[in-house]
A and B are shown apart, each in its own frame.
Chain A
């Protein structure tokens, strides 16, 4: 049976809260980007700029909609990853070796996705 005693519940509750908080942070960033997009009068179908990590901070400081939208998208993708990282830490702390290995393997698959896309893109 899976761990649903108080310790298990607290662990899952923390993971749930983490997911909610990071999701709302991502939605807030996207919402700011959309408002800036509307204020700038840019047509969304005109084609947005590609992701350039080097420009992200300067775009944010300049209140460029692309900066907020890209950061929001990156936080969206990072949201489920943060849950897996949190779960991995929790499983390691609770001595659940098998689930810790599963968590780390999931992160490994995501890393392979990134590397493969970069290599073949």
Chain B
């Protein structure tokens, strides 16, 4: 019973801090399960992928209801994250676990550096948020089928754009999404750490919309590789149950408490934890 409750509490802590700091739970869960509970790295990744789907699906549902996520852009890009996840899921079983641990250590250092450099969203992001729609007609316009690639691309970009912003550089988005999918499958993370800056900085999507759309995409990205981990026997139901419930509860609490907590100190503390965890993963990689 103590172990089950510890897994529940560990999942809740990962979900809570992940939600408070804008990280997916996976970045914290995988090291927790391997370094504290002694799980095999691939098994930890399998558990993490299931937990990531639970939290992202709940959040994506709310974002869709509130019309914050860009459904069409998200679905277009998730086709490529799913392809990347399929490839990553297969690669994960071909490489030595020590390489995965090394890659995870690098990811943790990257996240720590990103958190250190993080700034408040620029004012123009807030100004560019999509307003509540007031139009009384369905303004969907299907991109015309044409043999002129440039015209089709322009029409497709317009189709994927929001009411108050224009999506650009779809090719960059496609390539980045595929890479995010590979990383997600290899490391058991949602991949938001790649997708959000990709959409926001690389494609001109406002930060809040990018965050919501990334949440929408995470479910399919993780599902594409989770089925591979599940079929290959790397998802243990006894571990997954308590951890997923814990992450769900922790993330729900975190999203409610985020605006009431002074995150600057927590951020710095967490950077230290991430760097320490990266060191432990590095030591694991080196055997």
| Interface residues, chain A, with chain B CB atoms under 8 Å away | 1-9, 12-13, 15-20, 22-24, 26-27, 30-31, 33-34, 37-38, 41-51, 65-66, 69-70, 72-73, 76-77, 79-81, 83-84, 87, 94-99, 102-103, 105-106, 109-110, 112-114, 116-118, 120-121
| Min CB–CB distance A20 → chain B (angstroms) | 4
* Given the contacts A77-B230, A84-B75, A3 and B139 also touching, CB distance less than 8 Å: yes
> Contact: A16 with B64, CB < 8 Å?
yes
Count residues of B near A (Cβ-Cβ below 8 Å): 79
> Contact: B142 with A37, CB < 8 Å?
no
> Contact: B136 with A6, CB < 8 Å?
yes
Binds A, one of B16-24, B99-107, B121-129, B154-162: B154-162
Cα distance, A110 to B224, chains bound together (Å): 5
Cα distance, A5 to B238, chains bound together (Å): 45
Q: What is the count of residue pairs linking A and B with beta-carbon distances less than 8 angstroms?
A: 247
> Contact: A66 with B135, CB < 8 Å?
no
> Contact: B71 with A45, CB < 8 Å?
no
Partner of A34, one of B69, B85, B242: B242
Within 8 Å of chain A (Cβ to Cβ): is B62?
A: yes
Give the residues in chain A near B54, CB-CB below 8 Å. Answer: 23, 26-27, 30, 76, 79
Within 8 Å of chain A (Cβ to Cβ): is B29?
A: no
Cα distance, A87 to B227, chains bound together (Å): 21
The A-contacting residues of B in range 135-192, CB under 8 angstroms, are: 135-143, 156, 158-163
| Interface residues, chain B, with chain A CB atoms under 8 Å away | 1, 3-5, 7-8, 37-38, 50, 53-54, 57-58, 60-67, 69-73, 75-76, 78-79, 82-83, 85-86, 89-90, 93, 130, 133, 135-143, 156, 158-163, 219-220, 222-228, 230-233, 235-242, 244-245, 248
Cα distance, A21 to B257, chains bound together (Å): 23
* Given the contacts A1-B162, A5-B135, A99-B75, A113 and B227 also touching, CB distance less than 8 Å: yes
> Contact: B4 with A44, CB < 8 Å?
yes
| Min CB–CB distance A77 → chain B (angstroms) | 5
**Interface residues of B, dominant DSSP:** helix
> Contact: B71 with A50, CB < 8 Å?
no
* Given the contacts A1-B141, A4-B139, A76 and B61 also touching, CB distance less than 8 Å: no
Partner of A97, one of B1, B37, B142, B226: B142
> Contact: B241 with A69, CB < 8 Å?
yes
Q: List 10 A-B contacts (CB under 8 A).
A: A4-B130, A6-B136, A7-B138, A13-B65, A20-B65, A37-B238, A44-B3, A80-B219, A80-B222, A102-B79
Give the residues in chain B near A118, CB-CB below 8 Å. Answer: 231
> Contact: B86 with A98, CB < 8 Å?
no
> Contact: B223 with A110, CB < 8 Å?
yes
Partner of A15, one of B5, B66, B71, B220: B71
